[in-house]
Structure 1
Amino acid sequence: MNQKEPLLNIQNLSVEFRTIEGTVYAINDLSYTLNSGDILGIVGESGSGKSVSSLGIMKLIPNPPGKIVNGKIIYEGKNLVNISEKEMEQIRGNDISMIFQEPMTSLNPIIKCGKQIAESLILHRGLKKKVAFEQAVEMMHSVGIANPEQRAHEYPHQLSGGMRQRVMIAMALACKPNILICDEPTTALDVTIQAQILDLIRHLNKEMNTAVIMISHDLGVVSELCERVIVMYTGCIIEESSSQELFENPLHPYTIGLIKAIPKISKDREPLQTIEGVVPNAMEKTDGCSFWPRCKDVMLRCKQELPPMIQVKQDRKVRCWKYVVGNRHEGI
């Protein structure tokens, strides 16, 4: 593969769910790239399309009712949208792995943890059961599970939430994938375990040069871990920036609202900031910007036309008419 090409290139991806009540427009014209060794954060409210975008990459969107209706997912020169399920099975868990939100529902409750990790090694590496199980134990040790020989023979319900999450990480990394997708990997974990999981992901990124996509609604997690951040709203990217610039100088009114809503520890007991209004119905398509009903800077044009992604400067993009009206930036 040409080293100048991104490891993953998502182009104009759109995903819809056809339901009895109508069509849900979950992802709308999503485009971004991921390079080897990157740590990319994707943030937004519930329903913004974060998890659906990751399921699209893994080709795990249930069809029906879901369907990729447009776009490309280019991985090492292959468009994953067009390949067969058999070909995708060779990539899923081998080249691209995913840590799901809740390990208790993602792990098989009637199969021992070590055997679940070993399964991917048997499938993708062709190892014998005994060798695969031994490597699974080693992987459990590498992700910080104490007494891995014992834990490998235990069932998921016998482990704590933090331990189960480590088993999920061990399973995802067993075949040393090029891309690791983390979908809210620290949800429902206490802050101490959360910090340990984030340190583990950071360490594995450096040691194995694995590119990481971190999906989260927790801006604190993203600011601590990620180098680059994408902000999503109603299935669209509305801002893309380096992590430092995004948190120091957010551009889109929605991003500004998200960062202002982060609770602050102070003596004055300031009231929590909120973004007024609610997320629009995903079944309704509008001509303008989907954020305008909640935006304090709304203009007439916002209600009539969807703004393009504006290249404000190198590696900084925003989807907002504010940065077109007073400037001469061109959409991309």
Structure 2
Amino acid sequence: MSQIETILEIKDLCVEFKTVEGTVQAVDHLSYTLHKGEKLGIVGESGSGKSVSSLGMMQLIPNPPGKITGGEIFYKGQDLVKASEKEMQKIRGNEISMIFQEPMTSLNPIIKCGKQIAESLRLHRGMDKKSAMTEAVRMMRAVGIANPEVRAHEYPHQMSGGMRQRVMIAMALACRPQILIADEPTTALDVTIQAQILDLIRDLNESMETSVIFITHDLGVVSELCDTVIVMYTGHIVEKAPAQELFAEPKHPYTVGLLNAIPRITKDRPPLETIEGMVPNPTERITGCSFSPRCPHATARCRETEPPMIQLSEQRTVRCWLYADKEKEA
């Protein structure tokens, strides 16, 4: 079996924000690898650090109030944490692209959609104006926009939410990036458009061998698209596993709670389960496991000492004391 190529490696990434209420540790010693052509899903509740970790990768965290306080992000042997703004400008949109949550606020409202796509081609590929616009129209057609020659000359407000999201995807993929970060790209879209966007990302992943980091709180979307899943809670990874294994047999109590909270469309559907309690205040530092106040299996050990990441198999890890005595520590 040939060696799988690692395209991105994050080691002990820490990101914090200074607020009037105190310091928020948004990402706390985050570590994972992304392989070439892999579709990696990152899931968790709002505030778990999903988006912040990817913004840190792109050096897009506003400073102040945010700051990367530790860790390394290796892309092709280069540590992006130490990269200069000039170096990052060559990488952003060219080798690593990002689809943001809300296209209406991410697209420039006073520039025509085709021109916004063409701009990245002129910047990164050195194309002239005419060639860049021709390629922008081709990309709009590739992402399923009808009459791209006409739509390229329309402004964002003239398009529906689904069409604007397709423009964002066309812009992100125009330079054929090595890594595509999709930050909740199907939020606020109806289910038909959601399915089309997911099919589009899957097709582009296969045709271009682009690695995908898919950030979402929707586990249903992850089960459809991703090869590997990372579950985050309060800035930590609490579980990482191949998608099929995670959905068949979740290990961490938080993952179990998330899966049990998904509504089931069956004749004799059980009552909807919830996870007891609330996500802790971001400025609050909890002793021990941060999930222990909500966990039905919490013990005194959980409340006193933070659990390490436990290696259950070559591809499965979990941060929970339930497994510490049974398996070796990572």
Taking structure 2 as the reference length, the TM-score comes to: 0.98
1:215-234 equivalent positions in 2, closer than 5 A: 215-234=215-234
Could you tell me how far apart the structure 2 residues matched to 1:177 and 1:313 are? 31
User: Which consecutive unaligned segments of at least 5 residues does structure 2 have?
Assistant: none
SS in 2 for 1:262: coil
User: Which consecutive unaligned segments of at least 5 residues does structure 1 have?
Assistant: none
1:36-55 equivalent positions in 2, closer than 5 A: 36-55=36-55
Match of 1:331 in 2: 329
Residue-by-residue CA offset, 1:209-238 (whole Å, 9 max, x unaligned): 000000000000000000000000000000
Residue-by-residue CA offset, 1:231-268 (whole Å, 9 max, x unaligned): 00000000000000000000000000000000001223
Could you tell me how far apart the structure 1 residues matched to 2:183 and 2:66 are? 19
SS in 2 for 1:70: strand
* Shift, 1:4, TM fit: 5.8
Match of 2:31 in 1: 31
Residue-by-residue CA offset, 1:129-178 (whole Å, 9 max, x unaligned): 11111110000011110000000000001011111000000000000000
Match of 1:85 in 2: 85
For the pair 1:207 / 2:207, whether they are aligned, the reply is: yes
SS in 1 for 2:277: coil
1:169-318 equivalent positions in 2, closer than 5 A: 169-318=169-318
150-159 or 259-268, which moves further after superposition? Answer: 259-268
SS in 2 for 1:10: strand
* Shift, 1:271, TM fit: 2.2
Could you tell me how far apart the structure 1 residues matched to 2:159 and 2:4 are? 43
278-287 or 301-310, which moves further after superposition? Answer: 278-287
Could you tell me how far apart the structure 2 residues matched to 1:44 and 1:266 are? 25
For the pair 1:109 / 2:125, whether they are aligned, the reply is: no
Match of 2:162 in 1: 162
SS in 1 for 2:312: strand
* AA at the equivalent of 1:29: H
Could you tell me how far apart the structure 1 residues matched to 2:82 and 2:28 are? 19
Could you tell me how far apart the structure 1 residues matched to 2:86 and 2:201 are? 29
Structure 1 runs of 4+ aligned residues shifted over 4 Å read: none
Alignment RMSD (CA, Å) = 1.0
> How many residues are treated as equivalent by the alignment?
328
Match of 2:94 in 1: 94
Could you tell me how far apart the structure 1 residues matched to 2:4 and 2:268 are? 51
Match of 1:62 in 2: 62
Could you tell me how far apart the structure 2 residues matched to 1:5 and 1:264 are? 38
Q: Is the CA contact 2:4–2:35 (under 8 Å) kept in the aligned structure 1?
A: no
Could you tell me how far apart the structure 1 residues matched to 2:300 and 2:72 are? 33
Could you tell me how far apart the structure 1 residues matched to 2:12 and 2:268 are? 46
* Shift, 1:270, TM fit: 3.0
Residue-by-residue CA offset, 1:45-103 (whole Å, 9 max, x unaligned): 11101010110111100000000000000000000000110110000000000000010
Taking structure 1 as the reference length, the TM-score comes to: 0.97
* AA at the equivalent of 2:328: E
* Shift, 1:6, TM fit: 1.4
* AA at the equivalent of 1:47: G
SS in 2 for 1:313: coil
* AA at the equivalent of 1:239: E
* Shift, 1:284, TM fit: 1.7
* AA at the equivalent of 1:313: S
* Shift, 1:331, TM fit: 2.2
Q: Is the CA contact 2:73–2:81 (under 8 Å) kept in the aligned structure 1?
A: yes
Match of 2:119 in 1: 119
* AA at the equivalent of 2:290: S
SS in 2 for 1:81: helix
Q: Is the CA contact 2:5–2:36 (under 8 Å) kept in the aligned structure 1?
A: no
SS in 1 for 2:137: helix
